[in-house]
Amino acid sequence: MNNHNHDKIQTFRSLRLLKWFCPPHLYEEIEGDLIQKFYREAGAFGDNKAKRRLLWNVIRFFRPGIVLRSKFSVELNQVDMYKSYFEIMMRNLLKQKFYSAIAILGLTVGITFALLIGVFIWGEMQVNANLKDVDRLYLMETNYKATEGNQPPFFVPALLGQQAIEQYPTVFEKYYRFRDRNITVSKGDKHFRIQSMIGDSTFFEMFGFPVLHGNVEMALNKPTSIVITEKIAQQYFNKTDVVGETLTLSTEVNGLKDFVITAVMAEVQKKNSVTDFMNSDAQIFLPQDSRGDFNLGFQDEWNTGIITYIKIAPNASSVAAAAILNRILTKEAPKAISENKTIELNSLKNYYLVTNHGVVQKLIISLTIILFFILTLAITNFVNISIASSFSRLKEVGVRKVIGGIKRQVVIQFLSESLLFAVFSGSLSLFLYEILHGYFGEVLGVSLPDILKMNFSFWVSMLTGTLMVGLLAGVYPSLYLSATETIESLKGKFHSVKGTIRFSRGLVAFQFLIAVFVFIMSLVMSDQISYFMEADLGYDKSHVLIVSSVPRMWNEEGMNKMTAAKREFLTSSKIKSVSLSWGSPNFNFDPFSATINLAGQPLEKGILTNMASADEDYAKVYGLKILEGKFFFDESEGFQANRLVLNESAQKALAVEVGDKLRMQFSDKEFTVAGIVKDFNFESMHERIKPVAFTHNRDFQAFRFFSFKLHPGNIAQSVQEVEKNWKNIFPNDPFVYTFTDERLTMAYQTELQLKRASAIASVLVLIIVLTGVLGLVSLGVAKRNKEIGIRKVLGASAYNILILISREYAVLMAVAFLMGIPISYLFVSHWLSGFAYHTDLNGWMFAVPILILFCITITMVCLQSLRTAMAEPVKSLKYE
Amino acid sequence: MAKEYLGEFEELVLTMVAALQKDAYGAAISEEIETRLKREVNLSAVHVTLYRLEDKGYIKSSMGGGTNERGGRRKRIFTITSAGMAMLRALKESRIELWKLVPQLKMS
């Protein structure tokens, strides 16, 4: 019985609570008294009530008379001790202002940069995290067996999602499919071009986007329903409660058509892989049934590609789900569709990071490396400075030990000093973050949140991070200082001086190694990115204005209207040439890919080709070089139907000549090759140039962009003039424009972010390394004051002295550079191999950073030691 | 000379320590107060008061044996010091002095 009770007592939660706050020497009797009281009460009121009262009694013991009784008398002593530590630290800090400033500067720069980068990385990792059940959301992607010239991977057969839900309801829960359109939306005299998603009614249940007004379940049920975001509601109505209002959309098939607003969505997280799929930033959402209005040919057929998200059941595995999808595809779909592709499931959780060649992930990894380097530099700096300046503190340690200080106390003292330094730098960094985050966000092209809006985990990680830095920075100096022999340290001799100097030199060499690595990396990155931006893309990107808000009248009447508009535009003196096309290089270039083959040969002999669509002036506007034939037809000739223009890659792959007849998948017509253009880079430079075939948009009957080649000169004025003409010709369509080079910049945005961040990092690294060296040199010179005096007496010149001091650093740098070159070579060549087109690594990319670093460092070393070298030897020798 | 004063509860606890002798520990004192004076006391208040009295030097303590009803935990037995005894006596005498000043039997 008693044993049983005993066990029960062991498990009382309340007593564990007591243990937590109760001073140990009082614990046993209080616990005993409580247990005694518990049994008495259990007899009187029953077990449960007694248990409750026990907890209450325990809680009532949480009072100053008990809690503070623990080490109160002991603690008083320690407070004094810590106070003395603090005092001595402040004294040292003020006595050695220069070194303290260097140490704090290094740490602050390091922590601030880490903070900025860390917040940025955190933000990128959080993309999609707000979607409902994001762990179970997947984007279907098609994996083609052929490697060249396929449709974008995110188009999958339209029926697949539906079949999956119907056949395997236990594995799949929901799907959402959409195609996008850029639509001109009007209300009164307000016309804007807005990105839309036209898709299934499962949109809200699937992703859980918050809604301000309207009924989520019915929102996308009728063919004329429209859901808009808060932002769009404000834009058109200046309020958000606009359910029941209508908006007029200009549709490709049925002209202007009214849609009724059924729901208003709250602003969603800016970046996500649904409404912001491929940075599209969709703001209006239309039902699947409205697709006919927008000439989106997809029916529920295997044959058409559509973007499909699928949600799997809570306990289903994605591997099994993908296998099932592939099984459905091979079983149900026509063989022509299923035979050369497999379906993959990409978790939305990391889709943002790995999409587009994993460019974001690469950025995050590179930034993490840089962050780590900068923090390491800051810490090594601190270690170096504290070791070097601690020679003057050896006596203090000796005295402490003589009067009874134990080793542990010395360790604690120096550790708490470095922790304090770190905390101080950390707080300074928070200030700096607050000042800099706007600028830094601009540089990186993102908005970094304000410090006051940070959540709890930010503060926790900030605190632990800072303490870690302080601990790492303090651990070696404190162990080293506390380990010196008392007598030795009192005499001012260092038993372990040799070892420390070697360690210290190692750290400096390490710093140089990191510095040279970061410099080379940043130089190569910046070179590669300028290569991207300035390389001969095969087309002329200067002064080309693209207007993307062309009304989509995709019929004969529309074609005629566009031709008339072109003529009207050309009357302006600012415009050199105009072209109507589907897309432009690096900006939605082609509508689809199709297999083309020589007429008379089987389809299998053909090649997958990106089908572009443009008019006869496209080559003129974009400066495409025509190698053979002509771009569709001559001006005098007039329109000729069913002609194709190929790029060199397509021509070579098909081995055709001008005049040959070609056949095209999805079309029963025969096309004549009218001309061959030189290869040009219409996609990212990450990839090789693919075969392209241009069809004329009179044959293709679809177009989206007007491209204007402007005369050089005042571009702003030219844009104004084009806009004026635009308003005359298309009064009901907004004027949405961009420049080719701007699009190019957007296409390489992540690379540009990396370039800017690494440039900033190089500057920071330089600052940290140089201040570190500065501190070390001045400490070294101060220690060798007497030696230098003796050397001078014996006849050394100032020049000899400078050589003597800088030789040490020159050797260190040489070692660091010898190690740094192969390491950075390996890294950058690996990085460059990720690009299909890249700059060649050059000797100068390694030589220049090394030379610059070497010269700056030696100059600084000399300047810093010049005063000592020039001083009269008498001064340094007379105090003996 | 500043004279030390005891609060009402302190005096009560001190008296109980003196009265219970070898059996004076936290739980027993609180139980005794509850049964004899019919007064709800807070166990933690008793403990805090005991420690305070010990700080002031009126009682001293040593660890006693454990019993099963306490789950084997030892008791802290408090005993009154001569200073404590003197204090109690002084208190009692001053009360009696004061009591004598109160006019008696004035009810009718």
pLDDT (tens digit, 9 = 90+) per residue, A183-208?
889 888 888 888 899 988 899 888 98
**Cβ-based contacts of B43 with chain A (< 8 Å):** 33-34, 37, 57, 60-61
Distances in Å between the alpha carbon of A203 and those of A198, A297, A308, A390? 10, 21, 11, 65
Closest CA to A288 of A350, A237, A220, A383: A220
| B69 to A66: CB separation less than 8 angstroms, yes or no | no
**Complex confidence, ipTM:** 0.87
Check whether B1 has a pLDDT greater than 50. no
* Residues A94-104 pLDDT 10s: 887 888 888 88
On whether any CB of chain A is under 8 Å from the CB of B34, the answer is no
Q: Give the pLDDT mean for A496-506.
A: 68
- Residues A332, A337, A339, CA angle at the centre, nearest 5°? 90
CA distance B23 to chain A (A): 13
| pLDDT for residue A655 | 86
Q: Which of residues 36-55 of A touch B (CB under 8 A)?
A: 36-37, 39-40
DSSP structure string for A260-322: EEEEEEPPPPSS-TTTTGGG----EEEEGGGGGGGT----S-TTSEEEEEEEE-TT--HHHHH
| pLDDT for residue B50 | 92
* Residues A27-59 pLDDT 10s: 888 888 888 888 888 888 888 888 888 888 888
Higher pLDDT, A536 or A2: A536
Q: Which of residues 58-77 of B touch A (CB under 8 A)?
A: 63, 66, 68-76
Closest CA to B55 of B78, B88, B29, B33: B78
Q: Give the pLDDT mean for A566-594.
A: 85
| pLDDT for residue A2 | 45
* Residues A827-854 pLDDT 10s: 888 888 877 788 888 888 899 989 998 9
| pLDDT for residue A814 | 92
| B43 to A39: CB separation less than 8 angstroms, yes or no | no
Rounded Cα distance between A428 and A430, Å, is: 5
* Residues A395-440 pLDDT 10s: 777 787 787 777 777 788 888 888 888 999 999 999 999 998 888 8
Break chain B into its structural domains and give their ranges: 8-101
| pLDDT for residue A10 | 52
Architecture of domain B8-101: Orthogonal Bundle (1.10)
Check whether A449 has a pLDDT greater than 90. no
| A33 to B69: CB separation less than 8 angstroms, yes or no | no
* Residues A638-676 pLDDT 10s: 888 888 899 988 888 888 888 888 888 777 788 899 999
| A32 to B75: CB separation less than 8 angstroms, yes or no | yes
The Cβ-side half-sphere exposure at A424, using a 13 Å CA radius, reads: 15
* Residues A609-629 pLDDT 10s: 888 889 889 988 998 888 888
Closest-CA residue of A relative to B43 is A57
Closest-CA residue of B relative to A59 is B44
**Cβ-based contacts of B75 with chain A (< 8 Å):** 29, 32-33
Closest-CA residue of A relative to B27 is A33
Nearest by CB: A63 against B26, B48, B70: B48
Q: A176: pLDDT confidence band, cut at 50, 70 and 90?
A: very high
Higher pLDDT, A11 or B7: B7
| A29 to B74: CB separation less than 8 angstroms, yes or no | yes
Sign of the CA dihedral A95, A98, A101, A107?
A: negative
**Contact by Cβ (8 Å): A222, A188:** no
| Token couple for B19 | 């009265």
Check whether A462 has a pLDDT greater than 60. yes
The stretches of A660-797 forming alpha helices (DSSP H) are: 697-700, 715-729, 740-747, 749-783, 785-793
Of chain A, the percentage scoring pLDDT greater than 90 comes to 10
Nearest by CB: A37 against B27, B48, B75: B27
